[in-house]
Amino acid sequence: MPFIPHTPDDEKQMLSAIGVDSIEQLFDEIPTGLRHDLGNENLQNVPTHASEMDVSRLMHQRAAQDGQPLCFLGAGAYEHHIPAAVWELTTRGEFYTAYTPYQAEASQGSLQVVYEFQTMIANLNALDVSNASLYDGASALAEAVLMAIRANRKSKSKIIYMPRTVHPHYRKTVEAIVTNQGITLELLDYDASTGAIDANSLPKEPGDFAALVIPQPNFFGALEDVDTLTDWAHTHKALVIGVVNPVALAILKPPGEWGTDGADIACGEGQPLGIPLASGGPYYGFMCCKQAIVRQMPGRIIGRTVDMDGKPGFTLTLQAREQHIRRSKATSNICTNQGLMVTASTIHMALLGAEGLERVALNSHANNRKLVEKLTALDGVEAVFSSAVFHETVIRLDAPLNDVMHALHAQNLLPGYALQDEYPELENCLLVCATETRTDEDIDTYVNHLQGILSKHDRA
């Protein structure tokens, strides 16, 4: 595909039309001291070109530096099996280079993919409407908080109840985005024995607040009592925001069915749906809501309609963003959606289907149980919380955690996520994860290495 389609003759005609002799003249306002040429000594170590073979070798060498450790680390990004067809299709030129589908008549394929994505996500969450994605799970939660403030007409408050069991990175992102808009985040602590919110500890008379955030599963992997929490919030005229793992929704009650009336908004990270672990991204966020508050949803929504001849087609519908007509009154400044990631997730969900996604979730849960049972059978290892979990669990080691993790890293293992920085009360505690990709051999490898390291610590 030619990204620079102009011939030398084309360039001459365009330059002549604007009255300049060369392209270089267009940049004559740049000071000479800031410009360079091939003879500039500061760039003598930068190669002027490289062959495809050389570039490929270099990229493989750089990738190999990351290694391929055995991964028991989750904490918001998960290693799931991705069928080969997902990215073979996603990286076709029709999808890979497509941009925002403003011209519906020329973008029916892209629009239909996003429409199918929205349908799947809305069904997975049992809510009425889904948007076409956000930047990531953390910013999706921030947008959900802003949306709840706008949408809750029964509340004049700008207080959001935020459990400490929400991913700490999500909480920091939300705080960075919303606190300068006069919104207050009131933290709810978790029960030290279960790792989840104790509904009996909730305020009997909380006063006016706009919304309650409920993570499911929470950051510790524990399952919250979503029905009781949802009904408590609605009793006090607050909205409910669910922060969910989309894979877990294949076997857990979806947000739209929580409590008597269901959550009002659901959001989360889409990475578990066909997006590989890739040194930090790119990922994408998703968001759903009830029909009653859809006009407060940020981003864009793709709709299905018919043309003048009665043929079905797809088009952008609600998109009350600042780039269009609303300016400062826009619901959000969310811009281009993560279209390529959404395409991959749509293909991934279509290939797996409901049954396949359920198998992934069940096998992940089963592997986590195997892992925790074998780890806690070791001397010096115990499970911290008693709640039911999905595919992550918190364990405590009877040894300095940093030393143990360093030793496991040396064995090409990623043993989990250390919690003591964000949760000082959980010293020497590790959040471990097992998805459907972990085999019995993988689990035994982890257990055996940890056993050897702990035994050396005891002898020391």
Q: Where are the beta strands (DSSP E) in 126-274?
A: 129-130, 159-163, 184-188, 211-216, 239-244, 265-269
pTM of the model: 0.86
Q: What's the pLDDT score for residue 317?
A: 84
Under the banding of pLDDT at 50, 70 and 90, the label for residue 298 is: confident
**Where along the chain do the CATH 3.40.640.10 domains lie?**
84-348
CATH class of 84-348: alpha beta
Q: What's the pLDDT score for residue 42?
A: 59
CATH for 70-81+353-459 (3.40.50.11440, 3.40.50.2020, 3.90.1150.10, 3.40.190.10): 3.90.1150.10
Q: What's the pLDDT score for residue 349?
A: 97
Which of 293-307 are b and which e, b meaning 16 or more Cβ less than 10 Å from the residue's Cβ?
Answer: bbebbbbbbbeeeee
Q: What's the pLDDT score for residue 14?
A: 94
pLDDT tens, residue by residue, 396-432: 999 999 999 999 999 999 999 999 999 999 999 999 9
Under the banding of pLDDT at 50, 70 and 90, the label for residue 43 is: low
| Residue 97 pLDDT exceeds 80 | no
pLDDT tens, residue by residue, 67-76: 889 999 999 9
SS3 content of the chain, % helix, strand, coil (to 5): 40, 15, 45
Residues of the chain above pLDDT 90, percent:
70
- Tokens, residue 195: 């790792």
| Residue 374 pLDDT exceeds 70 | yes
Under the banding of pLDDT at 50, 70 and 90, the label for residue 106 is: confident
Under the banding of pLDDT at 50, 70 and 90, the label for residue 141 is: very high
**Where along the chain do the CATH 3.90.1150.10 domains lie?**
70-81+353-459
pLDDT tens, residue by residue, 309-346: 999 999 888 765 545 556 667 777 676 668 889 999 99
| Alpha-carbon gap, residue 387 to 371, rounded angstroms | 16
